[in-house]
Chains A and B, each alone.
Chain A
Amino acid sequence: MSKTILKVNGLSKVYVNKDVFSKKEKQFQALKGISFEVNEGEIFSIIGLNGAGKTSLIKSILGLIKPTKGSVEIFGKVGVLKEDFNFIGYLPEISYYPREVTLKNLMYYYADLYQIREKKKRVEEVIEKVGLSQKLNVKLEKFSKGMLQRVGIAQAIINAPKLLILDEPMSGLDPLGRKLMKDLILELHALGTTVILTTHILSDIESFGGRIAIINGGVLKKTFSFVQEENSHYEIKCEKLGTSETVIVEEGALSVKLGELSALGLKILAVEHVRKNLETIFLETISHLNVDKSTLK
């Protein structure tokens, strides 16, 4: 059984905004009692609409904001300590880098923060991994958005982290950049790195497999393992006495059902293999949430 690397227990976060003049308080609850666990070596994707609470959740995990309620356990200890960051890599949603410094200087800086001994060697390794070897001595002002995102990944993996947290890693990347990012995430995962990522580009994470959490309005709605085969079914269009109908059959039960329908004297018109993609599951979950909300009203 694999070890739990991260445990989130009933995490809630309320942002309070106080108006200096009117003394009125505005409150916004970004997270509402979120609990989940991430095991060592898995890819755990957190999906949700913009403003669902993904970034607040990541910031709470990293100790950048203090949760109003609940706790976070990383590497078996409550809270994240300074020393824990030696084993954590993090890519924020959007980050700007000083434009007038070279990639080499920036990466040396991050290597110094980790006190990496052979920093020249390590910087060259990670820069090669993200495909920017030719740009080592180029100032960042000459980098495209996609290249800067790759710089972000390079700084996140410079310490060879056990736990890699990526907030919207595909944001701003072109198809080639997305492919490179996906391959890199899969490569790190194969090497045993635990990856937690947030995104709202669902098609990108279908290929990762692993577990997926859907959050909406600060609530963890669903956690599940996404396997394409488990999310597909057959639709049989058949006809009897001039009336057509559709029968839905789960994966693996097709031949039995076809036999049954024929025995009942139905004429089979068409059989369609329908794959339920992540987007469908996500939208279904979100719409369930809306139904719940209206019920509450």
Chain B
Amino acid sequence: MRQTWAILKFTLKENISNKVFKGFIAFTILILLGIVVFKSLALYSQNDVVIGIGQLAIEFFLLLIAIFASSTQYFKDKKEKSIYLILTKPVSKTQYIWGKTLGIIALIGIDIIIMGGILTVILLLGKANLTATYYLAYLYMFYKLAIIIAIGVLFSVISDSMITSNIFTILVYILAYGVYELPLLAKQVGGGALNWLFMTLYYILPNYYSLTIRDALLPQISLHVLSTTLYSVGYCVIIMVIASMIFQRKEL
């Protein structure tokens, strides 16, 4: 446990001090400021435009960081041989995988707090009326990115190529938004292999539709938050257990 914590802390520290990461953050902040400058172009609900585009920009740039960091971390460590320095210490492969993954998840969490904080300040200065759904959107964004980080790590230990790992992670992110359509699609194709394929994908892929905050959910919001929290944590844990099992058998 202590070793996992040490790897988590160092992964976080290493990524925060990374110049590419700092560049990404600076660029996102510039985009957020840009949105404020151009919000006057919106015909109505100017604050809603800032919220929509602002949160989309934050999620998009953090998605890039999440995919890049998760699906390249193992390859980078192997290429640079720093993985040998860790796994020849009293650290198991499982501790390595969990430490690295949780470190990247923590990094994304901190980013959401920083960027979300900046956007919130901008909106409050513009006298926007911020509802519970606005704040919950950040929590759900965190869940979505945490799941994609776990999947990125899984692909990085399965695949022998960094590009393949990146492509598959991006593909899962895109499919996860349309996963709720899969049972309908399966019904339309009737029986057979395609039906089986769509239903298998429906159960395997993460469901981002349920991780999208909508005003209609407000009457039962506590239950929804609880269920999505359990779903996200459970999904990440299952993916990480699978990644650890595969990594155990992998030669370095």
Contacts and interface: CB of A to CB of B under 8 A. Distances in A.
A112 interface: yes
Interface string B1-29: 01101110110011001110000000000
B82 interface: yes
A88 interface: yes
Given A82-B90, A100-B18, A114-B89, A95 B80 contact: yes
Interface in A57-90: 59, 62, 64-66, 82-83, 85-86, 88, 90
A13 to B, nearest CB: 10
Given A101-B13, A109-B6, A113-B6, A93 B81 contact: yes
Contacts of A93: 81
Interface string A95-118: 111101100010001101111000
B220 interface: no
A92 B85 contact: yes
Given A62-B88, A94-B81, A113 B3 contact: yes
Interface residues of A, number: 29
A101 B2 contact: no
Contacts of A62: 84, 88
A88 B88 contact: yes
B248 to A, nearest CB: 11
A95 B81 CA distance: 5
B80 A100 contact: no
B43 interface: no
Given A64-B88, A66-B251, A112-B6, A101 B14 contact: yes
Given A82-B90, A82-B91, A98 B85 contact: no
Interface residues of B, number: 26
A93 B84 CA distance: 10
Contacts of B18: 100
A82 B82 contact: no
Contact of A109 (B10, B90, B251): B10
Contacts of A114: 89-90
B110 interface: no
A216 interface: no
Contacts of B91: 82, 85, 113
Contact of A90 (B5, B14, B17, B84): B84
B252 A82 contact: no
Contacts of B90: 82-83, 85-86, 113-115
Contacts of B2: 112, 115
Contacts of A159: 89
A199 interface: no
Nearest to A90: B88
Given A109-B6, A112-B2, A97 B82 contact: yes
A155 interface: yes
A242 B89 CA distance: 69
A105 B81 contact: no
B172 interface: no
B87 interface: yes
A93 B9 CA distance: 26
Interface of B: 2-3, 5-7, 9-10, 13-14, 17-19, 80-82, 84-92, 251-252
| 8 A-B pairs closest in CB distance | A112-B6, A96-B80, A100-B17, A90-B88, A113-B89, A109-B10, A95-B81, A85-B90
14 contacts: A82-B90, A85-B88, A90-B85, A92-B85, A95-B82, A98-B82, A101-B14, A101-B17, A109-B6, A109-B9, A110-B85, A112-B2, A112-B9, A113-B89
Interface of A: 59, 62, 64-66, 82-83, 85-86, 88, 90, 92-98, 100-101, 105, 109-110, 112-115, 155, 159
Given A82-B91, A100-B17, A112-B6, 10 more contacts: A59-B252, A65-B252, A94-B81, A95-B84, A97-B82, A109-B10, A113-B6, A113-B91, A115-B2, A155-B85
